[in-house]
Structure 1
């Protein structure tokens, strides 16, 4: 890490040298947001003439004049945080002082000498606006009131005469994809939305990767859920795209975040109704592959707000696959050829209820309950031929009915008290529980189709979390912020599994030849953190912090056998630095992250629904540690916004997925392959990503990007002599996306989208490439109270094909998956109710557990406390 830290210091030094050059910029704060100057935390940089303007630092004349106000968005009325406020002399037309707005849009310039001035308000995504000239005399205390700043339509992703948010935005601590601007995702689920987000990719199974790594943490409204911890891909299918407002990507979290998520954090923000009165939203869609219906109602009066929501989605889809694999058993080469087809019929539901109440002007209480259900039913046929040294050994046909069922409940109660701007204390609690059932039933058929046997696997799991958290933050001076807090998480995972068999007649009975048993896994985490933010007079922003997490584990197999899993403690530092130069923002970050194993990686149940590919977890897994570094630059050039970043990850004790041939001791057929997880590897990843957003005209926007990385992996695998040997693999993966939106007359709009992901290197081979595309049109109706849309996905050809190859000393495998995902869908949405807005109120914070590895950013500066996960 010494080399990386030296590199970071050299980079900071280079930036520091750049800032001493002369420039005529009036930017006092970072155009991408964030406290770019000493006023960034509600204070002001008083009486100091900025070196950025002349290259010379000198004291400005001082007095006792004062100017203040609040800056708000002209369209939404919401505060514009961390915008630049420049004080300009009307005589010289040059800036002589300035500050930035705080998280509530407030600004103050004090100690002003007598003279004639005007204010200039500026921020990326908005037009510059000048105030009327005014005169400061001794004792002047001028309040500019609420200043409305209009959006810059040249920078927006979906433009109307009233102005709208860009499809892609970069905020001070995260990249934001505004999903409610994406019409082709309507009627889909969360995985359909995440496919469109820069730096993310979603494979055909719904597994999400960030910059090539599935070691991420997914939050919903800044909160975790045990269903997400169990399986990210399945959890995303429960969340309808129509209820997603935005997706936030945080690649370099600060110490305030849980230390989990090696590659970063993804926060899915759902639509929240801020209307005053009684409202009801209806969203519905029908398509060739899925149909959905959603109802969302709210009532808000005075200090009380209540919301109710219900969403359901039914899917139907086909897939097919071919498998050709060879394993070595002594001198015998066993080759397996398999053809499979599947028909999926999943049904997903989600129901929510919440309330918030203002106890007092500076105190708020909120509570929410969410219930989700998944009924994933799949019918499979598997025709398998096995050859020994190319001679046909057996032929098997299986009809498999697979049931993957779950129900989850999340409940939270949160309290926050604000003492003064930027000084607040919060208490958060959450209880989350998920019940999982993952069973299959198989009829085994002979060569002529007769029933020769039956098999069933019963696998029931529960995953439960109880969390207590408290946070406190306070400004130390006008350019410094201190944050600290503590957290306790208590987790319990229970799994029970067994196999049953029967002949062509008779009842199913316990199978003594296949593994069965149980796992009781208890994990307790105690954590504390401290974070310090400092903004220098030269507009560098430093955010440094450290977090300590102590993890204790106790686990038993088969009720009585203790598993030797050691306890551990981890100190995880983080450093974030940013600097604004004219219309560009430079950022650098380093942090260390922990990746704890997830439920499916721990679950020891051997899932042999396909006996040629058996999946089994490893309850003795230890966490992995990753060091992350990132450098990025963002800039606006005329009508185009650009963002580019380079990053590196170093992971030791990596949790790696490995595949080994089954033997007679495993209880599974010879020639089959067991997929499991072990702490056996190291990973080195370096990469870069670039994305852009440009407006060709006021009604036509295009955005897209390209990302790529190089990965080196090293680990252990069984060798031909039975001993473990070291193997390695490396490769480059490149992906990209392109989206265009067009606003037409009379409420019509259109959109096209395309995505491609190249081959992805793995320790024992390569996962194949895949692509997807869509087009859509939408018509607003009833004065924009509703809309009707039509979209088509992957409509040319016959679906998407992905080819995966695996190689090791004992096995080779080629697996081709074909997904028939052509789709046409019709969507409808309508909103009824009283349409009066009320001022956005302070909400209590809530728990965010972002510390468990999913199956399958950076908090650069002080973000609004109520808007960020912890």
Structure 2
């Protein structure tokens, strides 16, 4: 890997890392520079604050006694946050005082008078737990230790789907969608799950948008991946839906996160094995459009835990499309009409190996290796007719075989040391590498179907990253938290491409008429951040921070030609404010600045002419874009319903915009590329709800919409650049309903719609999907079998996209025959006993490369 220019661009960051590591080591040896154990919103409640329980002010006699403890989930070992702890008078069985657990599960009751009491712990989804009678003498400070709450898996008439987490939860800085409650996604992949997540949209190619923007970062268990950097859509197809526990949507990331992702961050949390012993899980599915097989095993004994998993999924799907485009040649319109049919045969796989070891009571070491592979093969026939004015100029017929192949590996080694609750230090390292092959082979046929010539494009790319990161956080007094850290990323991108041609027989030879070359792109990033959280006695929470990032770039094309891409530095502030209101409502306001660096395929200079009428090519001189975000939201739980409403705005300058221009070499064809020429102004709103109509029937859904104004440059009729603009409104909605039946049966229905979306040079077509599924759990709860159907009415989805500019117009129609019926099966074998709560681990988060656009 070349690192030319690294010293000058990264030396300040390396010095910061060295100083920070030295400081952290001193802290590890001698302890923090002050601050007691966490309290307030971090480790307990404010003793001076007047408590209120069940709407009645506390009237318990005052004293100097104290009871404290920690609530944990008996199955997962994780803390139970925001649970209710009631102090009961054992004589009257009535509550006389109470509190709630914090984010770490900690609670405390203070100023207790001498006497006898009983504690009652309660929270939705858990069985109510009562303690034995507790005697408090004058000055007693009693710590009850870890209190385990048992999940309530029974179905009770008087409660709402007891023992089941709500479909949508709102945390302090994110919205959480609990995907493991979804029946119809079994046997699918991560794209099937993300289609159901509030604020997200997934198009027919699997590209993900957040509030109308594809400028997002996708993490898996808070970890990045080089395959995600090259293509979010393909990376998500490698992750099985059955392994996803939840999806976190972070619209206003704090300074702790990388500054990348203009619209926000999506963190996919997979199911983590907390079982003690040896286990094996089998998940399989078969359908008319795809099949899958997954095997996951784990072994845990003492301080050592090992997990090994593999997942593969194969598709077989047909599609057809039509293309009608017109370009001006010397003022005379040239029209191209194309009909294409395709047969897709993609194969995706992912394999993981994980180890964790407890070095000591407060220290842990984790290591993970993830290998992903993609084998996307497409057979396509293109029949193209060209007209000059009203006169037919000719017809061409091409049989094209596309190969989009990749393999990626991510290796993590992470260390974390906990001094006391909320005070910890971590070191994270990561090595990632992705190899990407994007080739095509075409047979050129005459009108009689006879072979006349052959063409091949070879394009090999690699993306390699080395990351070093260290973080430290510590509470200050009882209601403040300080976080700071440093990070270095060394990234190397290489791309090599060429065209070959040949006659009806013989070897293919280098084509001198088509471009060939290479790109060597070295990017080094040094960053540091500081974040401060403060909770007031009046229930205001302020989280403010800033992050500084310096990026140095060295790039050459065709081995020797330097590209003048200047280094740049960015200061990205963030402010998050929340206020808890009476009745359980929460109001939040946020501002942050984000930067968006171009991704591998946006930089790739290879002109991909698999379809010569629509050639795509990257731009290696792209610069990052800057986006300012504001957001205002309110959420509340009213009886059995959860409601969340938000207003948001985004202002982007120097936007990375996809543009289309007439080709200079092939009359009638269009080139699609990227440039930093855009201005975008986006304003929108979201409304989501989750309600339980009965103890066995729940409905959730939402509406969202945004208005966007875009401005950019394109080629005019006179050959000079011309400013163009576009604006429009896009609206979407989703609805999901679940029914829990007797004897382990369950039914779920889902529907989604997105109206056409405006683009700088036209409109992207709208889309929809719907599904219906049924599942039966086995009597021993070790497995299940299910049946699901998607888009089972009609003849699939039709998506119409239009493009207009001074020099060209285009209408493309894609027909995706995606009706699907699938049978799913899962079973778990092995000895299973639950172990004590494990310490959390941290890892590298490279949230900093722009994903693919349409």
| TM-score over 0.5 (shorter chain) | yes
Q: CA deviation at 1:119?
A: 6.1
Aligned to 1:13: none
Deviates more, 1:692-701 or 1:128-137: 128-137
Aligned to 2:13: none
Q: CA deviation at 1:113?
A: 5.1
In 1, Cα distance between equivalents of 2:266 and 2:295: 25
In 2, Cα distance between equivalents of 1:324 and 1:263: 33
In 2, Cα distance between equivalents of 1:270 and 1:588: 29
Kept after mapping to 1: 8 A contact 2:534/2:543 = yes
In 2, Cα distance between equivalents of 1:85 and 1:643: 27
Counterpart secondary structure, 1:797: coil
Aligned to 2:6: none
Q: CA deviation at 1:504?
A: 2.8
Q: CA deviation at 1:163?
A: 1.1
Aligned to 1:577: 577
Counterpart secondary structure, 2:826: strand
1:129-278 → structure 2 map (5 Å cutoff):
136-144=136-144, 146-147=146-147, 163-278=163-278
In 1, Cα distance between equivalents of 2:721 and 2:454: 36
Aligned to 1:850: 847
Residue 506 and residue 493 in structure 1: after superposition, are their counterparts in 2 closer, same or farther (change >3 A)? same
Residue 273 and residue 717 in structure 1: after superposition, are their counterparts in 2 closer, same or farther (change >3 A)? same
Residue 131 and residue 710 in structure 1: after superposition, are their counterparts in 2 closer, same or farther (change >3 A)? farther
Residue 91 and residue 787 in structure 1: after superposition, are their counterparts in 2 closer, same or farther (change >3 A)? closer
Aligned to 2:801: 804
In 1, Cα distance between equivalents of 2:650 and 2:93: 48
Aligned to 2:649: 648
Per-residue CA distance 1:732-790 (angstroms, 9 max, x = gap): 11111111111111111111111111110100000011111111111111411011111
1:208-607 → structure 2 map (5 Å cutoff):
208-581=208-581, 582-607=583-608
Kept after mapping to 2: 8 A contact 1:40/1:99 = no
Counterpart secondary structure, 1:346: strand
Q: CA deviation at 1:65?
A: 1.4
In 2, Cα distance between equivalents of 1:288 and 1:160: 37
1:734-753 → structure 2 map (5 Å cutoff):
734-753=731-750
Aligned to 1:670: 667
Q: CA deviation at 1:314?
A: 1.0
Residue 153 and residue 766 in structure 1: after superposition, are their counterparts in 2 closer, same or farther (change >3 A)? farther
1:98-113 → structure 2 map (5 Å cutoff):
100-112=100-112
Q: CA deviation at 1:350?
A: 1.1
Kept after mapping to 2: 8 A contact 1:565/1:620 = yes
Gaps spanning 5+ residues in structure 1: where? 1-36, 857-870
Residue 538 and residue 268 in structure 1: after superposition, are their counterparts in 2 closer, same or farther (change >3 A)? same
Kept after mapping to 2: 8 A contact 1:479/1:535 = yes
1:831 aligns with 2:828: yes
Aligned to 1:608: 609
Counterpart secondary structure, 1:192: helix
In 2, Cα distance between equivalents of 1:207 and 1:282: 29
TM-score (norm 1): 0.89
Per-residue CA distance 1:287-345 (angstroms, 9 max, x = gap): 10111111100000000000011111111000100000001122121100000011001
Residue 84 and residue 652 in structure 1: after superposition, are their counterparts in 2 closer, same or farther (change >3 A)? farther
Kept after mapping to 1: 8 A contact 2:276/2:834 = yes
In 2, Cα distance between equivalents of 1:524 and 1:224: 17
Aligned to 1:22: none
In 2, Cα distance between equivalents of 1:112 and 1:534: 27
Aligned to 2:658: 657
Q: CA deviation at 1:133?
A: 8.2
Per-residue CA distance 1:65-88 (angstroms, 9 max, x = gap): 111122234775642124455768
Per-residue CA distance 1:126-183 (angstroms, 9 max, x = gap): 7988878867542122345555667799999xx9976122222222322222222111
In 1, Cα distance between equivalents of 2:433 and 2:70: 43
In 2, Cα distance between equivalents of 1:453 and 1:39: 75
Residue 87 and residue 549 in structure 1: after superposition, are their counterparts in 2 closer, same or farther (change >3 A)? farther
In 2, Cα distance between equivalents of 1:45 and 1:490: 45
Kept after mapping to 2: 8 A contact 1:44/1:110 = no
Residue 123 and residue 536 in structure 1: after superposition, are their counterparts in 2 closer, same or farther (change >3 A)? farther
Aligned to 1:622: 623
Residue 365 and residue 94 in structure 1: after superposition, are their counterparts in 2 closer, same or farther (change >3 A)? same
In 2, Cα distance between equivalents of 1:740 and 1:422: 39
In 2, Cα distance between equivalents of 1:751 and 1:720: 54
Aligned to 1:714: 711
Deviates more, 1:739-748 or 1:607-616: 739-748
Aligned to 1:10: none
Kept after mapping to 2: 8 A contact 1:217/1:854 = yes
Kept after mapping to 1: 8 A contact 2:87/2:117 = yes
Residue 59 and residue 166 in structure 1: after superposition, are their counterparts in 2 closer, same or farther (change >3 A)? closer
Gaps spanning 5+ residues in structure 2: where? 1-37
Residue 88 and residue 850 in structure 1: after superposition, are their counterparts in 2 closer, same or farther (change >3 A)? same
Kept after mapping to 1: 8 A contact 2:53/2:99 = no
Aligned to 2:25: none
In 2, Cα distance between equivalents of 1:76 and 1:848: 24
Q: CA deviation at 1:438?
A: 0.3
In 2, Cα distance between equivalents of 1:727 and 1:829: 54
Residue 795 and residue 546 in structure 1: after superposition, are their counterparts in 2 closer, same or farther (change >3 A)? same
In 1, Cα distance between equivalents of 2:824 and 2:423: 45
Residue 370 and residue 714 in structure 1: after superposition, are their counterparts in 2 closer, same or farther (change >3 A)? same
In 1, Cα distance between equivalents of 2:316 and 2:195: 20
In 1, Cα distance between equivalents of 2:770 and 2:438: 32
TM-score (norm 2): 0.91
In 2, Cα distance between equivalents of 1:522 and 1:697: 58
In 2, Cα distance between equivalents of 1:134 and 1:271: 38
Residue 372 and residue 461 in structure 1: after superposition, are their counterparts in 2 closer, same or farther (change >3 A)? same
Residue 154 and residue 567 in structure 1: after superposition, are their counterparts in 2 closer, same or farther (change >3 A)? farther
Kept after mapping to 2: 8 A contact 1:155/1:640 = no
Residue 153 and residue 213 in structure 1: after superposition, are their counterparts in 2 closer, same or farther (change >3 A)? farther
In 1, Cα distance between equivalents of 2:762 and 2:796: 24
Q: CA deviation at 1:52?
A: 11
